Amino acid sequence: MKIILKDGSTLELEAGCTALDAAKQISEGLARNAAAAEINGEVCDLRSELHDGDSLNILGLDTEGGLSTLRHTASHIMAQAVMHLFPDVKFAIGPSIADGFYYDFDTPEPFSAEDLEKIEAEMKKIVKEKLPLERFELPRAEAIKFMQDRDQPYKVELIEDLPEDAIISFYRQGDFTDLCAGPHMQDTSKLKAFKLMNATGAYWRGDSNRKMLCRIYGTAFAKKDDLDSYLQRLEEAKKRDHRKLGKELGLYVLMEEGPGFPFFLPKGMILRNTLIEYWREVHKRYGYVEISTPMILSRHLWERSGHWDHYKDNMYTTVIDDEDFAIKPMNCPGGMLVYKNEPHSYRDLPLRVGELGLVHRHELSGALHGLFRVRCFTQDDAHIFMTWEQMKDEIKNVVTLFDEVYSLFGLNYQVELSTMPDDHMGDEKDWEFAENTLRDAIVEMGKDYIINKGDGAFYGPKLDFHIEDCLGRTWQCGTIQLDMQLPERFELEYTGADGAKHRPVMIHRVVFGSIERFIGVITEHFAGAFPTWLSPVQVKVLPITDRSAEYAAEVAAQLDGAGVRVEVDTRNEKIGYKIREAQMQKIPYMLIIGDKEAESREVSVRSRSDGDIGAMPVEQFVEKVTGEIKSRAR
């Protein structure tokens, strides 16, 4: 039989050969370093049998699929170690995830930090045993009995959810057997660098009405150096945690009285309003108008938009004058009403309408996480109404805006194109046109992208922008969603050049995603040391003695008059203490003022990043800092 390799060449093999056999025929080195195989685009075991005409790509541990296979095997090794140490534990599921793996267990007592150390030690023993992972299959009825005999109710439930004619796969390693579709490594010895991170609670199948299980998270890498580097990044991330920094810097807090509803403090409001001012400036330049729509709107509107049927569980509702109303979870339906408020001609299009709308969504308490997952947030929304012919140019216009905004903060991004889902609405020809237009627009702009097949919204395909911070972490912020359905539901129209009525197509887009979440992202990205233009306090004036306090106040007044955010520290403390505290508050500039400076009418300037940069006339410093603010330099 002939197998097609990644480079397009063919490999001839005997019938019944596996992916590992193919790797060995190509080279022993390739086989030795192989972790998994991609067969016809699907990641599979190396033990998978090949068939004539299959496409094959051998995956090493330096690939996403290979590393995921290693981590999946690590989860099984962890489960086997738990079985050895805690024989009465029941097993749920144990997949690989983005940065590692986890396994859910039903255990009488939660696992302690000491338990995790013991489990790690037992895992190392299993790794040394070099146990082969053997795959076998059973018919559904036999598979159920197999797990019933081992008193594993969660596995039984999973099997019972499968079709009656399903063939169920298992993996065996030594004395441990698990229900699993794979793929897995050939044996346990490949797990060289791993660590168990923590144990937490998780509802069975994510259902808060089901039993709370104990989930152990771990991570694994091909090499110890990679593991050490990852753990160092985690330590750095802890220092940058926006929840910790937000409290220390007096920006925002989260309180028990309002779970998921953040409180912004005075300095946090300066940061927030500065971002909003920038947002308004950019959008004005790009031809947007701004609107504001009500926070509470009637049930009839949400029924018309489809949210009442499909999103009601995430909406907060109320009754006014015996009628049902809902607090808006998104701004779009209100935007539709604004468009319908007056007639439109083709000459009005494209119409770019922005809204900084406060929305509320009911999130489960366990999902809440600082500013990253809240129950109320300000969405920096915009809706663009256009003709089909204008679609590509408008997409390019939005991407250009995104480029400008993200580059200002030093954030790179990866674009993801999500295509038509199974539950889509509308004509497939329209979907094809929309997907091709999105693709062509970003290709013509020289952008790389990846396909997220079938993950578009039911109303249209989309581009998601995953921004990358200084630690290499990615955050999904910006999105461009084409919508071919809401204009239909709301019967939006414009008068064409032919005098007839036509239906516009619409783009939903956000650049920050939400003001709150973006503040959380940039707080961690900059570790709280915001660029001067964003910093709530841009300059701290530090008089050394009471004698220099009067001149310090004059300097502060001059800075304030130039539009610089300034504070004066007049406390009776040593200057070293004042400098350290201003440094801890991550103030961009400190001006030290003593008798010498007061006499010469100068200031001694200390930079947050560069330390002492010497004395200079006040006017020179004002020019320097205002120039930095105006240019929004990083």
> How many independent structural domains does the chain possess?
5
- The string of pLDDT tens digits covering residues 609-622 is 999 999 999 999 99
**Co-location of 437 and 548 in the same domain:** no
Res. 237 pLDDT band, cuts 50 70 90: confident
**Co-location of 509 and 368 in the same domain:** yes
Is 531 inside any structural domain?
A: no
Of the candidates 508, 507, 419, 414, the one whose C-alpha atom is nearest the C-alpha of residue 461 is 419
* Per-residue confidence (pLDDT) for residue 459, from 0 to 100: 79
Is 336 inside any structural domain?
A: yes
Active site residue 466: no
Active site residue 140: no
Is 239 inside any structural domain?
A: no
Residue 457 has pLDDT above 90, yes or no: no
* Per-residue confidence (pLDDT) for residue 355, from 0 to 100: 97
- Which residue, 496, 525, 554, sits at the end of a domain? 525
- The string of pLDDT tens digits covering residues 331-351 is 999 999 999 999 999 999 999
Q: Which of 47, 215, 243, 508 is catalytic?
A: 508
Active site residue 383: yes
Is 242 inside any structural domain?
A: no
Residue 155 has pLDDT above 80, yes or no: yes
Q: Which of 240, 283, 383, 525 is catalytic?
A: 383
* Per-residue confidence (pLDDT) for residue 10, from 0 to 100: 85
Question: What mean pLDDT comes out for the span 380-398?
Answer: 94
Active site residue 414: no
Q: Which of 80, 152, 379, 485 is catalytic?
A: 379
Provide CB contacts within 8 A for 463, sequence distance 6+: 395, 399, 415, 416, 417, 418, 438, 442, 449, 479, 480
Res. 403 pLDDT band, cuts 50 70 90: very high
Q: Which of 240, 243, 344, 361 is catalytic?
A: 361
Res. 358 pLDDT band, cuts 50 70 90: very high
pTM of the model: 0.82
Return the C-alpha torsion angle 562, 566, 570, 571, nearest 10: 180
Q: Which of 45, 115, 178, 381 is catalytic?
A: 381
Question: What mean pLDDT comes out for the span 448-453?
Answer: 90
Residue 634 has pLDDT above 90, yes or no: no
Is 247 inside any structural domain?
A: no
Question: What mean pLDDT comes out for the span 45-74?
Answer: 92
Is 320 inside any structural domain?
A: yes
* Per-residue confidence (pLDDT) for residue 297, from 0 to 100: 95
Question: What mean pLDDT comes out for the span 177-187?
Answer: 93
- The string of pLDDT tens digits covering residues 100-120 is 999 999 999 999 999 999 999
Active site residue 477: no
Question: What mean pLDDT comes out for the span 572-592?
Answer: 95
Residue type, 89: V
Long-range contacts, 18-23 (Cβ 8 Å, 24+): 18/46, 18/47, 18/48, 18/49, 18/50, 19/44, 19/45, 19/46, 19/47, 19/48, 19/50, 19/56, 19/58, 20/46, 20/47, 20/186, 21/50, 22/50, 22/56, 22/58, 23/58
Q: Which of 76, 462, 509, 606 is catalytic?
A: 462
Is 561 inside any structural domain?
A: yes
When comparing pLDDT for 307 and 265, which is higher? 265
Active site residue 241: no
| Residues spanned by the domain of 578 | 539-631
Is 236 inside any structural domain?
A: no
Res. 9 pLDDT band, cuts 50 70 90: confident
**Co-location of 342 and 317 in the same domain:** no
Give percent above pLDDT 90 in the chain: 77
Range from 166-180, 476-490, 494-508, 541-555 carrying the lowest mean pLDDT: 476-490
When comparing pLDDT for 345 and 5, which is higher? 345
**Co-location of 458 and 580 in the same domain:** no
Percent helix, strand, coil in the chain, to 5, is 40, 30, 30
Active site residue 508: yes
